[in-house]
């Protein structure tokens, strides 16, 4: 059987040539360089992490469900290749949940892995809410308002998200809210507004989100907007097609819906209803009561 290792395949090929009496093969400098760099990558050690000094337990690739909770109905699984590809590993220290969460937060707040973002940000926007939440919202990245306050979803879109949470019969403090990227994407000097994070930036920051998920262990997650969906699932389909779908992220059912800012620009009752139906699906999965009044929100 052919090996997956190109160096081994090359060695086998050269041995066969020699045995068959063929003249010696010569490798071009480019081919030699390419093989050398492949060999180096193969034997390269992973990047050290901020936690490298501690005796720690690794963040596991999937999140076990809480035994005291009713298991959620199965969602469509996503293969690891279609999910965020963290570029380094983060190891949580041993200890109880509050101390591990505090360590994670402190580590993120001191992070400068993305030097261009670390020098631009005012502060790292780690996340906010209940560390024991059953429901976790995930957005894309902090904007100027969030960067200023250090809290995700505090601008106009954030205020709308708060209203959406309250319409579900919950308080903002009941859920957990985080972004895929913890630092505001940098902008050219004197340029207003915000930009979308790149996939590479989101991958670099993914270990923090994964550790948050591992510690919180929500029963349901809701991805807010196309960029968050792309960062989490690598799915670039239009949100009009994606919204309302259940996916799975690190073993947790993930509902895809529009970002609240979409509703600020498309505030028709039809679009509001679509988002509300997505949130009702999350409520059903969480076995939250849904009153007749709630069922009727945003109907014509
Ligand atoms: S975006 Fe994430 S990984 Fe990059 S510097 Fe900020 S906290 Fe660190």
pLDDT digits (tens, 9 = 90+) for 132-153: 999 999 999 999 999 999 999 9
Rounded to the nearest whole angstrom, what is the distance from the C-alpha of residue 126 to the centroid of ligand 1? 10
Instruction: Give the model confidence (pLDDT) of 263-281 as tens digits.
Output: 999 999 999 999 999 999 9
Q: How far apart are CA 81 and CA 278, in angstroms?
A: 26
pTM for the predicted model, two decimal places? 0.76
SS3 222: strand
Least confident of 67-71, 204-208, 281-285: 67-71
Rounded to the nearest whole angstrom, what is the distance from the C-alpha of residue 209 to the centroid of ligand 1? 11
Is residue 66 predicted with pLDDT exceeding 50? Answer: no
CATH of domain 103-295: 3.40.470.10
Which of 89, 199, 208 best tests ligand 1's pocket when mutated (most atoms within 8 Å of CB)?
Answer: 208
Residue 21 pLDDT grade (very low, low, confident, very high; cuts 50, 70, 90): low
Instruction: Give the model confidence (pLDDT) of 181-224 as tens digits.
Output: 999 999 999 999 999 999 999 999 999 999 999 999 999 999 99
Which of 84, 205, 211, 231 best tests ligand 1's pocket when mutated (most atoms within 8 Å of CB)?
Answer: 205
Q: Which residue has the tokens 């068959």?
A: 20
The alpha carbon of residue 4 and the mean position of all alpha carbons in its chain are separated, in whole angstroms, by 30
Which of 150, 183, 206 best tests ligand 1's pocket when mutated (most atoms within 8 Å of CB)?
Answer: 183
Closest Cα to residue 252, out of 64, 88, 118?
64
Give the CB-side neighbour count of residue 13, counting CA atoms within 13 A: 11
Q: How much is the pLDDT for 84?
A: 82
Is residue 161 predicted with pLDDT exceeding 50? Answer: yes
Q: CB neighbours of 123 closer than 8 A, spacing ≥ 6?
A: 109, 147, 150
Instruction: Give the model confidence (pLDDT) of 239-249 as tens digits.
Output: 999 999 999 99
Q: Share the mean pLDDT of the chain.
A: 82
> Is the C-beta atom of 108 inside 6 A of ligand 1?
yes
**Considering only CA atoms, which residue is closest to atom 4 of ligand 1?**
114
> Is the C-beta atom of 118 inside 6 A of ligand 1?
yes
Tokens of 48: 């050290």
From the alpha carbon of 121, which atom of ligand 1 is closest? 6
């Amino acid at each position: 059987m052919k090996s997956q290792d190109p160096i081994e395949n090359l060695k086998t090929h050269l041995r066969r040539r020699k045995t068959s009496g063929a003249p010696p093969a010569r490798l071009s400098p480019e081919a030699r360089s390419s093989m050398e760099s492949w060999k180096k990558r193969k034997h390269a050690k992973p990047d050290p992490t901020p936690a490298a000094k501690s005796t720690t337990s690794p963040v596991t690739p999937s999140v076990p469900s809480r035994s005291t909770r009713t298991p959620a109905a199965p969602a469509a699984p996503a293969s690891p290749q279609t999910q965020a590809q963290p570029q380094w590993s983060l190891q949580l220290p041993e200890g109880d949940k509050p101390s591990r969460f505090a360590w994670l937060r402190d580590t993120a707040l001191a992070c400068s892995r993305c030097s261009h973002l670390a020098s631009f940000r005012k502060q790292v926007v780690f996340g906010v809410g209940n560390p024991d939440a059953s429901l976790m919202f995930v957005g894309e990245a902090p904007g100027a308002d969030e960067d200023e306050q250090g809290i995700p979803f505090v601008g106009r879109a954030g205020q709308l998200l708060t209203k959406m949470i309250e319409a579900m019969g919950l308080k903002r403090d009941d859920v957990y809210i985080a972004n895929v990227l913890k630092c505001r994407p940098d902008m050219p000097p004197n340029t207003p507004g915000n930009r979308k994070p790149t996939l590479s930036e989101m991958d670099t920051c993914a270990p923090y989100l994964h550790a948050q998920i591992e510690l919180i262990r929500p029963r349901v997650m809701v991805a807010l907007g196309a960029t968050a969906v792309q960062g989490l699932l690598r799915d670039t389909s239009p949100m009009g097609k994606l919204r309302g779908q259940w996916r799975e992220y690190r073993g947790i059912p993930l509902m895809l819906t529009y970002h609240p800012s979409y509703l600020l620009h498309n505030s028709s009752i039809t679009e509001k209803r679509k988002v509300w139906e997505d949130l009702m699906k999350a409520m059903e999965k969480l076995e939250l009561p849904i009153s007749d009044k709630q069922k009727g929100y945003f109907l014509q």
